[in-house]
Amino acid sequence: MTQSAAGSGPKKITTKVIASMKEEGKKIACLTAYDFLTARFLDQAGVDLILVGDSLGMVFQGHETTIPVTLEEMMYHAKTVVRGVHRAMIVVDMPFMSYQANPEEGFRNAGRVMKETGAGAVKFEGGERVAELVFKTTQAGIPVMGHLGLTPQSIHQFGGYTPRGTTAGEAKRILNDALTLQQSGVFAIVLEKIPAALAAKVSKRLDIPTIGIGAGNGCDGQILVVADMLGLYEEFQPRFVRRYASLADVVRESVGKYVRDVKDRKFPSKEESY
């Protein structure tokens, strides 16, 4: 782990560090987190960037989509994540209708997120349509991450979670949107559920890092929803998810043992009592 110049602890990851990782050919490891404990574990494990994603609407709140998540809810979760992290960069999703109405409203909301949560950046979904907002926000000193391909906040418009960029027209639009976002000032772009060849092409054309999710191995970094890769969210498993654990089974088994011990009067023992 990189140490600070003073040798007092890990070096905080910033947009400058993220940019240098692409320049040096180092892959960027990213995951989502929505609470203090998970964020602390991810930070201790060496995750470079933690996204406080509006995916919390599905894996934390139980909604079918990310649409119902509010700005206040995102800020609440972002604050808890920030308190658990010392090294990783923290990015906060701007939720549905917190920026779509007009650039001025989105700009104010982004500023509020930065000021009140202590996060390091915000993320907007979309390409050319958010370019003005991205420019205005970055000019005010607020780092912005972009998001292209499958954009969950537009799920009702597209009618499902099918891959994007599978036609020549879509692929061209994604590349053009990526270039537009780069010009507008984003420090990185998430590419979600697009063909691997397209993601690799976009990544090579851009000077800024790309973070893939279901976009092949040609991106500059990767991100997954933490509940997916830990095997906690069982409703469905996308093709692009690799499960590194089956914690849902561990939780059920552990809680089951506790329940049996309580009912059999085995817990607490004398050693666990005062």
Hey, what are 259's tokens? 């329940």
* Helices 131-139 and 168-184: angle between axes, nearest 10 degrees: 20
Instruction: Return the DSSP state at 187.
Output: S
234 shares its domain with 253? no
* Residue 6 counted as domain residue: no
Residue from 115, 122, 131 nearest 98 by CA = 122
* Residue 152 counted as domain residue: yes
- How many residues are listed for the chain in this entry? 274
Residue 4: the pLDDT is 43
- Block residue for tokens 């960069």: 89
* Residue 193 counted as domain residue: yes
Residue 253: the pLDDT is 98
> How far is residue 201's CA from residue 210's CA, in Å, rounded to a whole number?
11
Residue 223: the pLDDT is 99
**Count of domains observed in the chain:** 2
Residue 8: the pLDDT is 57
Hey, what are 268's tokens? 């607490």
141 shares its domain with 255? no
SS3 32: strand
Residue 153: the pLDDT is 82
261 shares its domain with 209? no
User: Would you call 24 a catalytic residue per the annotation?
Assistant: no
> How far is residue 221's CA from residue 10's CA, in Å, rounded to a whole number?
21
Residues of the domain holding 199: 15-243
Residue 257: the pLDDT is 98
Q: For the purposes of burial, counting CB atoms within 10 Å of the CB of 67, is it exposed (0-12), middle (13-18) or buried (19 or more)?
A: middle
218 shares its domain with 258? no
For the CA atoms of 256, 257, 260, 261, the dihedral, rounded to the nearest 10 degrees, stands at -150
Q: Could you say which residues of the chain have pLDDT below 70?
A: 1-9, 156, 159
* Residue 7 counted as domain residue: no
Q: What is the chain's Cα-based Rg?
A: 20
123 shares its domain with 257? no
For 6-49, how does the pLDDT look when each residue is reduced to its tens digit (9 = 90+)? 445 678 999 999 999 999 999 999 999 999 999 999 999 999 99
* Residue 4 counted as domain residue: no
Catalytic residue among 64, 128, 170, 192, which?
192
Instruction: Return the DSSP state at 52.
Output: E
Residue from 150, 90, 101 nearest 123 by CA = 90
221 shares its domain with 116? yes
> How far is residue 206's CA from residue 249's CA, in Å, rounded to a whole number?
42
22 shares its domain with 100? yes
